[in-house]
Structure 1
């Protein structure tokens, strides 16, 4: 995952197909009422996606002028 700041409130995010699929399937599950529990694989995928996001935002902030 890569995040670039294009303008003040506009960002460009580059995701792998796997990351995009994780986001979309999670959003769909929530939008459809989030009944039941996520599988352990789905939970692990989301945790990895969030970790990738956290790392990408740290990189973004380290590149921004103070």
Structure 2
């Protein structure tokens, strides 16, 4: 995952297909009422996407502070 800040309100995110699929399927699950529970594998994949986001956001902050 890579994040670029275009201006104060616009960001450009580069995601892998797997990251995008994880985010969209999770959003769809929530939008459809979030019935049942996520599998342990799905939870781990979401944690990985969040970790990738945190790392990319920290990198963006480092680039902006220079």
Q: Which TM-score bucket, shorter chain as reference?
A: over 0.9
* Count of aligned residue pairs for this structure pair: 66
TM-score (norm 2): 0.96
- Ranges of 4+ aligned residues in structure 1 off by more than 4 Å: none
- Consecutive unaligned residues in structure 2, runs of 5 or more: none
1:2, CA displacement in angstroms? 0.1
Across the aligned residues of Structure 1 and Structure 2, the Cα RMSD in angstroms comes to 0.9
Q: Say which structure is richer in strand.
A: 1
Aligned to 2:44: 44
Secondary structure of the 2:18 match is helix
Partners of 1:4 and 1:15 in 2: CA distance: 12
